[in-house]
Structure 1
Amino acid sequence: MASPAPRITPEEYFALDSGSERKTEYYDGVAVAMAGASPRHNQIALNVASALRTQLAPRGCFVAAADQRVRLATTRAWVYPDVVVSCAPRFEPPRPQTLLNPELVVEVLSESTEAHDLTAKLAHYRATEPIAEIVFVHPRERLVEHHRRVDGSRWLVSLVREGVVELPGTATTLAIADVYAGADTLPDDED
């Protein structure tokens, strides 16, 4: 039986994360190293970030992909979503600067993180009040899972396979064809 990961303080996590070439997430005392992403995963994340950035740039919203650390204060977690949006961003040190008020987070699923993303990470996101929408993109099939906060702690979940994903929280859309553009021919985790 594997022993549990040693618990560390947020300060120890910040030192670990800033001194490492690999990103590390933190969940209330436990640091979790992030695996590298596949070419397909990267293409999809870039497609989503580009589509959102194009729509949100005129409003001055902040859109970041992959390397933006986000604080989920309610659950004492610091994570790196594949894409994050905030239309009135606030940041705090230490380096790298941490986004405090995400409104929309996007995770491109992979074989190694899917179970964690769809359970534990989803619970952390849902518990974080500024987050109004959570999007999971399945890279091995054309499927986008959209979670939208509708009433405090109530969430509406939509599965979209074709057409457009409506994101009312940021008044944007994601066309399924754009999300997956150029990704089908690229290797994925299990290719």
Structure 2
Amino acid sequence: MTAQPQEKNKMTPREYLTRERNSFDIKHEFFNGEIFAMVGAERNHNRININLTAKLYNKFETDKFACNLFSNDMRVKIEDSYAYPDIVIFCGDAKFEDNEFDTLTNPVIIMEILSDSTEAFDRGDKFAYYRAIPTLKEYILISQKKIRVEQFILRDDNKWEYRSYEGTNLVLNMQSIQCELPLSEIYLNVKFE
């Protein structure tokens, strides 16, 4: 999905949550007091998201992982900000900000499918926001323009290690959950122009 600035007036996290929980047409992300409307995604973005959701869910169910996932509509809390990652993986019980059960606080892996309008933000400031989440161990960026997956892994020394995968013969190794996913499955039925 693509984020577009919505308003210039700053608001508090509480004001944002109240507004967001009453917004039924459009989802909004919230960073540094500003909200950004989430706009529709392109065909490849949707196909990749479906592939990831289906393959990961199947692996988690059949392999009896202690992990699970949410796709698109689960808001994630980042200190005083909020985002809607394309895919968010958590392990153990899902933990939420409050009794509304609509804002996850314990993601282990966050995946973003890159688009032209959000790529710079996803790589830069959004990744900086995500790094403030204490439970986050991996951040994965997936291109919808070519076969390329980029992975950032939090090492024991608190530094982020970068890995890049290009080609359907490669396998994404999500170390923090001990799960492998072939790029051929991520990009199944994706057509590049």
Fold similarity call, TM over 0.5: yes
The structure 1 residue matched to 2:178, chosen from 171, 176, 182, is 171
AA in 2 matched with 1:71: K
Corresponding residue number in structure 2 for 1:69: 75
Q: In structure 1, how many angstroms separate the alpha carbons of the residues matched to 2:28 and 2:134? A: 23
Q: In structure 2, how many angstroms separate the alpha carbons of the residues matched to 1:155 and 1:64? A: 24
Q: Secondary structure at the match of 1:37?
A: coil
Match runs of 1:90-105 below 5 Å: 90-93=95-98, 95=100, 97-105=102-110
Over aligned residue pairs, what C-alpha RMSD do you find? Answer: 1.7
Task: State the 1:126 CA deviation.
Answer: 1.8
Match runs of 1:176-191 below 5 Å: 176-184=183-191
- Asked whether 1:37 is paired with 2:41, we answer yes
The structure 1 residue matched to 2:89, chosen from 81, 85, 88, is 85
Task: State the 1:154 CA deviation.
Answer: 0.1
Q: Secondary structure at the match of 1:54?
A: helix
Match runs of 1:2-13 below 5 Å: 5-13=8-16
Match runs of 1:130-149 below 5 Å: 130-149=135-154
Q: In structure 1, how many angstroms separate the alpha carbons of the residues matched to 2:185 and 2:15? A: 40
The answer as to whether partners of 2:67 and 2:177 remain within 8 angstroms in 1 is no
Task: State the 1:151 CA deviation.
Answer: 2.6
The answer as to whether partners of 1:13 and 1:31 remain within 8 angstroms in 2 is yes
Q: How many residues are treated as equivalent by the alignment? A: 181
Task: State the 1:25 CA deviation.
Answer: 0.7
Corresponding residue number in structure 1 for 2:4: none
Q: In structure 2, how many angstroms separate the alpha carbons of the residues matched to 1:60 and 1:155? A: 24
Instruction: Give TM-score scaled by structure 2 length.
Output: 0.87
Higher relative contact order (CA 8 A, sep 6+): 1
Residue segments in structure 2 that go unaligned for 5+ positions in a row: 1-6
Question: Which ranges of 4 or more aligned residues in structure 1 deviate by more than 6 Å?
Answer: none
Identity %: 29
Task: State the 1:49 CA deviation.
Answer: 1.8
Corresponding residue number in structure 1 for 2:58: 54
AA in 2 matched with 1:184: K
Instruction: Give TM-score scaled by structure 1 length.
Output: 0.88
Task: State the 1:44 CA deviation.
Answer: 0.3
Q: In structure 2, how many angstroms separate the alpha carbons of the residues matched to 1:54 and 1:171? A: 15
The structure 1 residue matched to 2:120, chosen from 98, 115, 121, is 115
AA in 2 matched with 1:153: N
Task: State the 1:92 CA deviation.
Answer: 2.8
